[in-house]
């Protein structure tokens, strides 16, 4: 863990791949990840953890499969949302976005259960910067 301030602009300048999160720091047992969203991710769920999304730039949609059907949550800049554990969800961004994610260290980007992963999605636990 660094004892210096984090420059998120510098982190963003270091990568342009969508759906390939960068771990900017760790707080206790949680990774703080920075990711670019563009196009569609994959339907997936995390069995044992919630997933926190904070949109820093752009806008995203998160499709949710819930007990009473599917719905979509739209988030714009400076809006946050938590997907509850065990909920199938599919993030996407038509125009592109920058998103800060908070998840337990070691959480796979496509969850514990997922549909077929397209080549545009990096299956990873995050890339440390």
Residue at 4 is within a domain: no
- Whole domain around residue 111: which residue ranges? 21-128
Residue at 15 is within a domain: no
Residue at 73 is within a domain: yes
Assign residue 48 the CATH number of its domain. 2.60.120.10
Residue at 85 is within a domain: yes
The model's pTM is 0.95
- Tens of pLDDT along 22-73? 999 999 999 999 999 999 999 999 999 999 999 999 999 999 999 999 999 9
Residue at 10 is within a domain: no
Exposed, middle or buried by CB within 10 Å (0-12, 13-18, 19+), for 124?
middle
Residue at 16 is within a domain: no
- Tens of pLDDT along 72-123? 999 999 999 999 999 999 999 999 999 999 999 999 999 999 999 999 999 9
Task: Report how many domains make up the chain.
Answer: 1
Residue at 3 is within a domain: no
Exposed, middle or buried by CB within 10 Å (0-12, 13-18, 19+), for 107?
buried
d(CA 101, CA 110): 13
| Tokens 């990711």 found at | 35
């Amino acid at each position: 863990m660094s004892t210096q301030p984090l420059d998120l602009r510098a982190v963003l300048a270091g990568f342009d791949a969508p759906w390939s999160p960068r771990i900017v720091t760790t707080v206790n047992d949680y990774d703080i990840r920075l990711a670019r969203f563009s196009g569609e991710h994959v339907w997936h769920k995390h069995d044992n953890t919630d997933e926190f999304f904070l949109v820093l730039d752009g806008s995203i949609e998160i499709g949710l499969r819930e007990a009473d059907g599917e719905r979509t949550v739209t988030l714009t800049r400076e809006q946050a949302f938590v997907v509850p554990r065990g909920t199938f969800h599919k993030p996407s961004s038509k125009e592109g976005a920058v998103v800060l994610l908070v998840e337990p260290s070691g959480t796979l980007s496509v969850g514990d259960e997922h549909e077929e992963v397209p080549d545009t999605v990096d299956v990873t636990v995050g890339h440390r910067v």
